[in-house]
Structure 1
Amino acid sequence: MTKEIKGWHVASIFVFAFSIIISVNLVLAFNAVKTFPGLEVSNSYVASQSFDEDRATQMSLNWDVSASLEGDILTLNITKDGRPVNPVIESATFGRATNVQQDQTPVFEFDGHALRAPVDAGPGNWNLRLRARSEDGILFQQRVIVEVP
């Protein structure tokens, strides 16, 4: 004996399926907005007016910048022509790429080869948002990606 599928059965399946889809979308949208770290600049048009000039000035420093994490020590390597550079760190924020809940402000110390700072980090994708000045006052700004296995 087979049961006949009636219109209310189909309507119930339809409502149930779309309720799940809409619920999942709402949860994902809520979490995306809740963890959004914010804007990079308050007015992108004003920032864009000097972008090319600022970039060219920063590139003239000819710095190679990289960062790595060994245990709980964040190492920032800044070199020019293979020699270590010790700039003035105006600001440094070490945190996740997608939210600001785990952001830290590392205090770097130069050991003659690299800048090192203790941080609390686990595996995953991290960013070091760096603002530093060279000896001649040129501003260097970069987001350095740090991948921790």
Structure 2
Amino acid sequence: MIRQRNEPRRFTGWHMVAVMALFFGTIISVNLVMAWNANRSWSGLVVENAYVASQQFNRKMAETRAFAESGIKGELMAGHGGIRYVMTRKGEPERATDTVIAVLKRPVEEHEDMQLEFVRMDEGVFVSKQALKPGQWVADLTAMAGGALVYRQTIRFIAPGENQ
């Protein structure tokens, strides 16, 4: 049968099935790719108990403001030979601190968490020979003087890889 010039093109049933399959196939494929990427990149673990964490927030914020007013600052440097933490008070080395303890965690995993105590090398300078695997880490640092809390700081940092 020859189609006339002005006669509209007719879609048959299989055309409609093909269009619907392409439409829904695209939507399903995009959803599967996004779900796979979300599952691979984030475990969903932020805190173990959100209620307890929310109750501690105001206390931690008040403590942070008090530390900021004291003039103490800490700087963490991670390298291939270990970790170095330098504390200063108003630009001068912090002399009172004798112990620094760090709890090191991955942002979304627990199996590599560790706690370590830094060795005091000089006034305000603390070092650990602990090598870290490359990638993002969160360090919760606690500085003590004679058993009393002097400073607390949480730092997110990236441990260098072999070619950095």
TM-score range relative to shorter protein: 0.7 to 0.9
| Separation of aligned partners in 2, 1:105 and 1:70 | 18
Q: Give the structure 2 partner of residue 28 of structure 1.
A: 37
Task: Find out whether 1:70 has 2:65 as its counterpart.
Answer: no
- Tell me how far 1:144 sits from its aligned partner: 1.6
1:137 aligns with 2:117: no
Equivalents in 2 of 1:35, 1:75: separation in Å?
31
Aligned equivalents of 1:137 and 1:143: distance in 2? 18
**Structure 1 runs of 4+ with >4 Å offset:** 39-42
Runs of at least 5 residues in structure 1 that lack an aligned partner in the other structure: none
Higher CA-based Rg: 2
- TM-score using structure 1 length: 0.73
Letter in 1 for 2:102: A
For the structure 1 residues 46 and 104, does the alpha-carbon distance in structure 2 shift closer, same or farther, using more than 3 Å as the test?
A: closer
Q: Give the match for residue 93 of structure 2.
A: 83
Among candidates 104, 120, 131, match of residue 120 of structure 1? 131
Report Cα offsets for 1:40-67 as digits up to 9, x if no partner: 8643553244355323322243212011
1:93 aligns with 2:103: yes
Does structure 2 conserve the Cα–Cα contact (< 8 Å) formed by 1:66 and 1:76?
A: yes
**Deviation (angstroms), 1:130:** 1.5
- Give the total of aligned pairs: 145
User: Structure 1 residue 108: deviation in Å?
Assistant: 1.0
TM-score, scaled relative to structure 2: 0.68
Change (3 A) 1:41 1:74: farther
For the residue of structure 2 that corresponds to 1:100, the secondary structure is coil
For structure 2, list consecutive stretches of 5 or more residues without a partner in the other structure: 1-10
Overall identity of the aligned pairs, in %: 10
CA distance 1:128–1:48, shift in 2 (3 Å) = closer
What are the Cα deviations for residues 116-135 of structure 1, in whole angstroms up to 9, with x where unaligned? Answer: 11223244333211233345
